[in-house]
Each structure stands twice: as structure tokens, then as C-alpha cells.
Amino acid sequence: MKKLEEVADYLPPRLRAFFRRQNFFQPVSELRLRADCPLNVRLGSVDLLYDGIENEAYFCTAEEIEQFMRAALQNSYYAAEHMLKSGYFTLKGGHRVGIGGRAAVEDGRITGFSAVRSINIRIAHAHALADVDFVRYLCDEGQKLYSTLVVGPPLSGKTTFLRSLAHFASSGLHGVRPMQLGLVDEKSEIAGLCGTRPAFDIGWRTDILDRCPKCEGMLQLIRNMAPELLVTDEIGGPKDAEALCEAVRCGVRVLASAHANDLSELCLRPLCRQILLDGGFRRVVELKGWPAAGQVQAVYELPGKRRLQ
Amino acid sequence: MILLKLCGVVLVLMSGLCLGVYASSRLRLRAESLRQLLTAVAAIRTQTRYGDELLGTVLLKAAGNAGQKTGSFLRAIAQALQSDRFLSPKEAARLALEKFSPCLALTKADAHAVLFLMEKLGCMQRKPQENYLELVELELTRLLRQAEEDAEKKGRLFSYGGACGGLLLVILMV
């Protein structure tokens, strides 16, 4: 609930008061505000709509969305410009805020948003893994973490899972041998760096490149920080494969995540298939988003796609 | 009796002169405040163009570049923004203007320009904000030119007018 409180501080007073009146039976994972629409809250796999039918009515106004934006960005849109161009920004504590509305386009590229209509706040959670038995399948005989790709649909807890594994590897927990970690946190979600201090415990052996493009960041870390394990989120872009190959050629292991329901669906995407082939991944972890985020569905061995768990 | 009358004459003359000088100094003060505001806007423009600092910090830094009174005005806005995250820069500026307007000698038109500056400050991305600040600078420059002309022309007029007004009153009374 501490994480929810961090977000509640940025909510407009009326919404904050409403939120504090609610008794949520599960940790809130997502909060959606849309102008002139009911408040939408997600608790794990449960989706609550405050439309006055099943739940108390709460309709967000455009003004409240503007207030939230102003408070969250501290009247400094220009400082978050590089993130706003990609349709998101990150709150203190690593909570990602996705935005929708009227896009400002220049030369066919989104340069920002002139009117924000909807907001999706994803509440970051610290190590939520209930079961860590699967970890032994992800380690080699020297107890070092294999190059692992975490696959799952949206809200399946990929980032939380990555954060936990990074913590295990960096701190040497649950039978994993401690490794020097290089973390490329493009969206400032995994570590949630605030100034120089991460919002989450990601271990003592972790070097972070915050808000840095993945490919550039990975190459820079390899060159300058000599990591044994590179951690990054949401790979799948054309340059990612190149950077992953470079990491593999340098003998660096990679821990990354990708969007897909399962491994077979991931293989249907040519770029991801290429990454699987060239990225040197030895394990794939499939996550399911229910009953709670971060639940392991299966662990596969690569090459061969043999199911280990 | 004559001595008393003489004292009265001197007092009336002095008051007239003081009033005139005060009015003329307000005109000079207005020009000075606008000049400092222009310096502050230039500093804000540079810092929001190249830096990633939050608006509160940017205003505090700009306050350091501006003079004492304008600096205090900008500092008050920055502190209001930092203490209440739901406050818009325009609201913060309005509150600060209520407090600082008399000592900055700003006219309604000047206050309007300041509120125009704060209306969109921080709520835009770099490029549009830079264009916006340029527009504000143009408006402030126009007001400054006007204030300088007023200080030049009307300033002397007010000083002489005050003294002459006092003299006229003395003559009428005598």
C-alpha cells in the first residue's frame, strides 16, 4: 500500500479522498483515468469500474486529468519531453504513467500531446514473487543465471519479475551466484531511479543507466562497466537484436523481457524470433497474469524449446 | 507669526516636490522592474532549453539573475509551486503579484504580461515554450520601452509639476 500512497500524492484532492475511502482487498496494479468516464481500477486480474452500477460512481473530469499531469510533471513538461514523445512518463518510485489524447505530430512523428484525455498509471511493485522454485532452472552448473527472456502478456508482471531476478543475481539470493549487473532502465521502471537512489532494492552489484535507449545503453555498459549480466525491459525493436548479439559476442549474459502471450506467439514475430536465435538466450520464462502478476507458467530451455517446468 | 507662515510655505513646497519626485521614481522603478523581468525571462528560456530542472528550480535560478525585488517576486512564485504541487504557475504568480505589485510598481498591463508569461510556462515542450517565451519577451520589451519613455518624459514633468503645484498652493494660501 506504500506504493499506492506514492501515487495518491499526485492525484487531485477529490480523487485522492475517494481513493482513500476505498478498501481494496488486493494491491492495486493499475489506475485508469479518462476524461468524463468512470474511474477504472485494476487489482490483479480484477477490473473495477466506478460507474455507479456495481461500484460507487466516480467520474473523472478533464480538469482532474490536467491537475494530475501538472502535479506529476511538476509544471515541467519540457523536462519530460523525451518520455512524453513516447507517450509515457515515470513518477517518482518507478510508476509508469501512459498517456492518450490528441497527439502533436511533426513530419509524421509524434512530438508530444496537446490535450491529454486518458491516463494509465501502473503501480510498480517490489519483489512480489510468491514461489522462487523456478530459479534453479534458470541457473547453470556454476549457479550463474543463464541468458533469460521473460515473456508474458501486458500486466503479467514482467517488470516486477525482472526486478526480482536482477535482485537475486546482484545479491546472490535463492541459490544464484552473485554477478555484476548492468541495468538499462529505458523507462525508469525497473529500478525507478530518483536522483541517484533506486526506488527498489536491486542489489549492491548493479550499475544503472536510467532513461537511456536500450541499444546504446547496453553497448555503453558492456564497454565501460564490464557487466556479467545485462538487464533490460521490453526488447523487440530492430536495433535490439544487434545490441543483444554484441552482448553475446562479448560473453555477457542478458536478462530481458518481451511482450507475447507465450513462446510460440513470440516466435511468430520475425524480429523476436531473430532475437531468440541470435540473442543467445538459453531460457525462456512464460508468465501468466493471474491469479496474481508474476506467476510462472512455464520455463523453457533453448535451443529446442524443451519445457523444464 | 511670520516664522510660522514661512515654515508652512516650506512644508507645502516640500510636500509638493516630494510627491512629484515619488511619482517620477515610481516610473523609474517600473522600468527597472520590467528590465529585471526581461533578464529573468531570458534566464528561464536558456534553462528550459538546455536543462532538465523543474520549473520551481528554474524560477529560483532566474531569481538569482534578476534584481532584488523581482528576484523576491520570482522566489515567491517558486516557493508557492514547490509547496503546493496542484498550484498552477499562473495562480502562484497572481498570489505573488498581490503581494509584490506595489513594490515592483507594475501597471495593469505589466501584470497582465506577467500572468500571460505564467499561464503556459512549464506546460509546453521545449520548442513551443521557447517560441512562447520569445513572444513574452517581445511584449515585455515593448512595455519596457514605453516605461523608459514615460520615466524620461513624465519623470521630470512630475518632479517640476510637484514643486510648481506646491508653489501654486502657497500663492493661493498667501
Would an 8 Å CB–CB cutoff place B122 in contact with chain A? yes
Q: Of A67, A77, A112, which is closest to B86 when you measure between CB atoms? A: A67
Residue A128 has pLDDT above 70, yes or no: no
Residue predicted with more confidence, A64 or B165:
A64
Q: Check: CB of residue A258 under 8 Å from CB of residue A281.
A: no
Cα distance between residue A239 and residue A139, in whole Å: 27
* The three three-digit cell numbers of residue A22, written as one number: 476505498
Distance from CA of B49 to the nearest CA of A (A): 8
Say whether A78 and B121 touch across the interface (CB within 8 A).
no
Cβ under 8 Å to A: B residues 62-91: 81, 85-86, 88-89
What DSSP assignment string belongs to B39-51? HHHHHHHHHHHH-
CB atoms within 10 A of CB A86: 12
Cα distance between residue B98 and residue B80, in whole Å: 13
Cα distance between residue A86 and residue A113, in whole Å: 10
pTM of the model: 0.75
Cα distance between residue B14 and residue B167, in whole Å: 9
Cα distance between residue A57 and residue A67, in whole Å: 20
* The three three-digit cell numbers of residue A30, written as one number: 493499475
Distance from CA of B153 to the nearest CA of A (A): 41
Q: Which residue of B has its CA nearest to A104?
A: B125
Whole-number pLDDT of residue B78: 93
Q: Check: CB of residue A173 under 8 Å from CB of residue A167.
A: yes
Report the residue of B45, B86, B87 to disrupt the A interface, i.e. the one with the largest count of A CBs within 10 Å.
Answer: B86
Q: Of B81, B85, B125, which is closest to A112 when you measure between CB atoms? A: B125
Average model confidence (pLDDT) across chain A = 85
Residue A13 has pLDDT above 70, yes or no: yes
Say whether A70 and B121 touch across the interface (CB within 8 A).
no
Convert the pLDDT of each residue in B16-73 to its tens digit. Answer: 888 887 888 888 889 999 999 999 999 999 888 888 889 999 999 999 888 888 899 9
Omega into A270 within 30° of 0, i.e. cis? no
Residue A153 has pLDDT above 70, yes or no: yes
| Contacts A90 to B, Cβ<8 Å | none
Whole-number pLDDT of residue B65: 80
Whole-number pLDDT of residue B39: 92
| Contacts B52 to A, Cβ<8 Å | 79
Closest CA to A134 of A262, A256, A296, A281: A296
Would an 8 Å CB–CB cutoff place B55 in contact with chain A? yes
Say whether A78 and B81 touch across the interface (CB within 8 A).
no
Q: Of B48, B56, B121, which is closest to A74 when you measure between CB atoms? A: B56
Say whether A75 and B86 touch across the interface (CB within 8 A).
no
Closest CA to B47 of B33, B36, B57: B57
Say whether A70 and B124 touch across the interface (CB within 8 A).
no
Say whether B88 and A111 touch across the interface (CB within 8 A).
no
3-state SS, residue A44: coil
What's the first-to-final CA gap in chain A, in angstroms?
A: 32
Determine the distance from the C-alpha atom of residue B65 to the mean position of all C-alpha atoms in its chain, rounded to a whole number: 16
Distance from CA of B142 to the nearest CA of A (A): 27
**Length of chain A in residues, anyone?**
309
Distance from CA of A2 to the nearest CA of B (A): 20
Whole-number pLDDT of residue A120: 93
Residue A297 has pLDDT above 70, yes or no: yes
Say whether A12 and B86 touch across the interface (CB within 8 A).
yes
Whole-number pLDDT of residue A212: 87
Helices (H) and strands (E) in chain A, counts: 9, 14
What DSSP assignment string belongs to A218-250? HHHHHHHH--SEEEES---SHHHHHHHHHHHHT
Say whether B122 and A84 touch across the interface (CB within 8 A).
no
Q: Of B51, B88, B125, which is closest to A77 when you measure between CB atoms? A: B125
Say whether B54 and A76 touch across the interface (CB within 8 A).
yes
- Banded model confidence at residue A279, pLDDT cuts 50, 70, 90: low
Q: Which residue of A has its CA nearest to B58?
A: A76
Whole-number pLDDT of residue B3: 83
Report the residue of A76, A106, A114, A188 to disrupt the B interface, i.e. the one with the largest count of B CBs within 10 Å.
Answer: A76
Cα distance between residue A282 and residue B111, in whole Å: 66
Determine the distance from the C-alpha atom of residue B131 to the mean position of all C-alpha atoms in its chain, rounded to a whole number: 23
Distance from CA of A86 to the nearest CA of B (A): 13
Per-residue HEC secondary structure of A101-163 comes to: EEEEEECCEEEEEEEEEEEEEECCCCCCCCCCHHHHHHECCCCCECCEEEEECCCCCHHHHHH
Q: Of B81, B88, B125, which is closest to A78 when you measure between CB atoms? A: B125
Convert the pLDDT of each residue in B113-160 to its tens digit. Answer: 999 999 889 888 888 899 999 999 999 999 999 999 988 888 778 777
Whole-number pLDDT of residue B79: 93
Q: In whole angstroms, how far apart are CA B34 and each of A152, B71, B139, B143, B158?
A: 58, 12, 11, 8, 21
Q: Check: CB of residue A121 under 8 Å from CB of residue A90.
A: no
Q: Check: CB of residue A12 under 8 Å from CB of residue B86.
A: yes
Residue A1 has pLDDT above 70, yes or no: no
Q: Which residue of A has its CA nearest to B55?
A: A76
Distance from CA of A85 to the nearest CA of B (A): 10
Residue A194 has pLDDT above 70, yes or no: yes
Say whether B129 and A10 touch across the interface (CB within 8 A).
no
Would an 8 Å CB–CB cutoff place B174 in contact with chain A? no
Omega into A291 within 30° of 0, i.e. cis? yes
Distance from CA of A13 to the nearest CA of B (A): 9
Question: By mean pLDDT, which of A196-210, A250-264, B154-168 is the weakest?
Answer: B154-168
